[in-house]
Amino acid sequence: MTAAHGQPTRSVLACGEVRTCLLPSLPALDGRAATQLLRLRADEHVRVSERPTMYALSPETLTGVDCRLPTSNGTKVRGVGTVVSRAALTEGRLLQSTAYFSVPAAGPDLRRPWGQYLVRPGLVEPFGKLPQQAAAEGALRGAERGELDLGMIAESLLAQLRRHALLDRRVPFKSSPTRLRWVARRIPAGERASLANFTLTEGGLRTMELRLPQDVPVAAAAGLCEDLALHDWLLTTVQHMLDNSRIGAIDGPSVVEALHPVVVHLLHLWMPRAHVDPALGHLWDVLEQKPGFSRQWENLSRRIRDRLALQAVAMPNQALSTR
């Protein structure tokens, strides 16, 4: 990103957080409505692609920050600069917001005028040398009070969008939002990007570490993480719905009712790497190998379809006429 402004790209680390949730709207938004929703800035367009899935990406907005960076070992590093945030809407149904920034290995010991930070959007400069390992671990652990909190920036963008007048503020079913925190360490240009440690932790938090060649923009990494977060949300949500007793224990038309939202709103959303930068597309293979995202999804969808089929066999008329 800095390269676009004639500055050498010299970040060593990028950190980000993605939040994924269901859009609070009963009807899914079409391309035009999605454009309206995601027009965060008047001077830039919302990017919408219709194939293979409807996907809209907002322009980027900047948040100025001057605060301590989270570190795992308590080292106090002050960072000044700007954090990029953006939002995406998939199939008019799943809303995501991301906040991210890059950090160089070292920065000046003096705070410079804002103008100089603004010409490097998405770059946060440390005062002095950056303890890279501690900063990466700190970013994954999350911010404490007074530290740079990407979750807060992403969440406030999400909250702003969910308040949009375009939405009827109703959800077709209840679901939990998820958070994915990621860090990307920079590796020399030309090397192959890699992914390590995709971890699920409690409370809907996921963490992930990437190695990102210098010639791949951070925005591409953010896009990959959004894509992973979206599919992880789908798995988590559908799994929770299936685990719920009301599907395990009940029978009859209520099964159809309980599974109805999955079939109508979610099953068609599975489309891995549809909008991922080609330089990073192969990282999906890692997750397909282990834990096997698509395998799990196929299994879940099969369970749902089988369950509905059984229901249809048992009660051909009643079950289907209730919907």
Partner 1 sequence: MLIFAASDKGGTGRSVTSANLAYHRALAGDDVCYLDFDFGSPTAAAVFDVADARQATEDRGLHAYLIGEVSEPARIDVWADTEHQVLRFPPPGCGRLVLMPGDVSGGEFATSDDNLRRCVDLLMTLYYEFDLVVVDLSAGRSYAVDMVLEATAQPEMSEVTARWLVFHRWTRQHVAAAASLVFGKRGIVAGGVDRGHDEEALRGAIRFVRAAVPDPESPLWSQVSPTQSAWMRKTDGDLKQLASTHGIGYSQVLGSVPLEPVLQWREQLITDEDVLDSQIANQETWQALSRLAGRLTDDKYWEQA
- The residue (of 168 and 285) whose beta carbon lies closer to partner 1 is 168
Q: How far apart are CA 218 and CA 277, in angstroms?
A: 11
Q: Nearest-5° angle of CA 12, CA 17, CA 19? A: 160
Give the ranges where 198-244 is alpha helix by DSSP (H).
218-243
Q: Is 176 in the site for partner 1 (CB under 8 A)?
A: yes
In the range 12-51, which residues lie near partner 1 by CB under 8 A?
21-22, 24
Closer by beta carbon to partner 1, 249 or else 313: 249
Q: Which is nearer to partner 1, 78 or 162 (CB)?
A: 162
How many residues bind partner 1 (CB under 8 A)? The answer is 27
User: Contacts with partner 1 in 213-252 (CB under 8 A)?
Assistant: 244-246, 248-249
Q: Which residues, 6+ apart, have CB-to-CB distance to 140 below 8 Å?
A: 181, 182, 183, 207, 209
List the one residue from 32, 163, 192, 305 that touches partner 1 (CB under 8 A): 163
Instruction: Give the nearest distance from C-beta 146 to partner 1 in angstroms.
Output: 9
**Residues 195 and 212 sit within 8 Å (Cβ to Cβ):** no
* Closest approach of partner 1 to the CB of residue 86, in Å: 18
The reply on whether position 211 binds partner 1 by CB under 8 A is no
Work out how close the CB of 140 gets to partner 1 at its nearest, in angstroms, rounded to a whole number. 17
Please check whether residue 160 is in contact with residue 26, taking contact to mean a CB–CB distance below 8 angstroms.
no
- To partner 1, the closest distance from the beta carbon of 84 in angstroms equals 18
Binding mask 121-140 for partner 1 (x = CB under 8 A): --------------------
Q: Binding to partner 1 (CB under 8 A): which residues in 249-288?
A: 249
Among 66, 137, 155, 288, binds partner 1 (CB under 8 A): 155
In angstroms, give the least distance from the CB of 143 to partner 1. 8
Give whichever of 152 and 309 is closer to partner 1, judged by the CB atom: 152
Closer to partner 1 by Cβ: residue 49 or 160: 160
Of 50, 190, 202, 278, which lies in the binding site for partner 1, with binding defined by CB under 8 A?
202
Q: Rank residues 155 and 288 by Cβ distance to partner 1 and give the closer one.
A: 155
For position 201 contacting partner 1 by CB under 8 A, the verdict is: no
Of 6-14, 109-117, 151-159, 181-189: span binding partner 1 (CB under 8 A): 151-159
With binding defined as CB under 8 A, does residue 149 bind partner 1?
yes
3-state secondary structure the chain: CHHHHCCCCCEEEEEEEEEEEECCCCCCCCHHHHHHHCCCCCCCCCEEECCCCCEEECCCEEEEEEEEECCCCCCCEEEEEEEEEEEEEECCCEEEEEEEEEEECEECCCCCCHHHHHCCCCEEEECEECCHHHHHHHHHHCCCCCECCHHHHHHHHHHHHHCCCCCCCCCCCCCCCEEEEEEEEEECCCCCCEEEEEEEECCCEEEEEEEEECCCCHHHHHHHHHHHHHHHHHHHHHHHHHHCHHHHCCCCHHHHHHHHHHHHHHHHHCCCCCCCCCCCCCHHHHHHHCCCHHHHHHHHHHHHHHHHHHHHHHCHHHHHHCC
**Residue 114 beta carbon to partner 1: minimum distance, rounded to whole angstroms:** 23
Closest contact distance (angstroms) between CB of 217 and partner 1 is: 27
The residue ranges that bind partner 1 (CB under 8 A) are: 21-22, 24, 145, 149, 151-152, 155-156, 159, 162-163, 168-171, 174-177, 202-203, 244-246, 248-249
